[in-house]
Amino acid sequence: MLLNPLSKNKNYLLGYLSIWAVIIAVHTLILNFFYGINGSISLADSLVFNFSFMVAGYSLWYVIRFNLREKPSFIDMIFNHLLTAVVIIGLWLLLGYFSMKSLYGNHTDYLLFLKNSLAWRAVMGVFYYLLFIMFYYLILYYDDLQEKLKIESKLQNLVTQAELETLKSQINPHFLFNSLNSISSLTITNPGKAQEMVIKLSDFLRYSLSHDKNEKTPLQKEFENLKRYLEIEKVRFGKRLNFVYHIPENCYRYVIPNMILQPLIENSIKHGVYNSADEVQVEITCKEEKYDLVIEISNDYDPETIKPKGEGIGLRNIRKRLQLIYGRTDLLETKADKMVFTARLQLPKEQEDGK
């Protein structure tokens, strides 16, 4: 960053000019009232010495950037600043002294005051120099800190995105393996249904791949894809799977994380239909609350049956995805109430246009 922060930021520049205007006014008043120096001479003295240091202070930024270009040691930096301070303050005093002498050389009292005041002017020069150095180093520290935070934020986003992709890649094969097993079983017993399942599976995977890069999708599209999945499972389980849904029209306008419902339905079928010879009802309902969209998926189940292997991976993946997307851990709840298992999603209401 080579551009001077005072010229880069309009507020910084206005503040800088305002401070020097106050310094010039105070300097003039002190010379006039406390030292009895003529008003015009006091003003000229203040303008010459303060305006010249104002310009020198502005240029100090470039001196600092030049010193930092090769990351010098602390001792080198101190030495460079001492040398720079001596040169700048020396030139400043010479410029001020000879300028005022050329303007008011016939005012002997003022010339005597000017010579006698060079010592405290040098002290003021050191004070000004230190203030400028501190200000510029603070600006550099702040800019470096902002740049580091920006880089850390980008890296965190990349890590989050990679984690989400990993979680989604765990979901798709999970379903794919089960479906292929179903097709394999039907190939011998019912080739026609096996062919039908292949076609529906193809449509389902096409949807999944086409939305791989879009983190959220309207509930309308997600539900249409969910029905494809259920049609595949319906071919496999027949009358044992009874799916019903109650989704008001107004719920379809909200967006939800894509492929978030399919693992829940898959979980319902696995723990409800797999172990039952009777008809099992899988139900999905949706309702609006003040700030959230609540989707519940419930299924009949027998708590006494042996749980299938791999139980819990789908739910853990969903919780992790919701945490990464919304930064919350309380958006998925599950409840086993006697013979009914319910998964409850509570998602912040959000429409496709961001409303």
Write out the DSSP string of 93-151: HHHHHHHHHHHSTT-HHHHHHHHHTHHHHHHHHHHHHHHHHHHHHHHHHHHHHHHHHHH
Write out the DSSP string of 205-225: HHHHHHTTT-SEEEHHHHHHH
Half-sphere exposure of 301 (CA within 13 A, CB side): 26
Binned average pLDDT, 10 residues per bin, the chain of 355 residues: 75 88 93 88 93 89 76 78 90 92 87 90 92 88 88 79 64 68 77 81 76 74 86 79 90 89 84 75 91 91 63 76 86 86 92 70
Half-sphere exposure of 163 (CA within 13 A, CB side): 15
Rounded to an integer, what distance in angstroms lies between the CA atom of residue 288 and that of residue 310? 33
Rounded to an integer, what distance in angstroms lies between the CA atom of residue 100 and that of residue 49? 9
For residue 157, the model assigns a pLDDT of 77
Structure tokens at 60: 């100090």
Specify whether the CB–CB gap between 341 and 299 falls below 8 A: yes
For residue 95, the model assigns a pLDDT of 93
Strand, coil or helix: what is 167?
A: helix
pTM reported for the whole predicted model? 0.56
For residue 212, the model assigns a pLDDT of 53
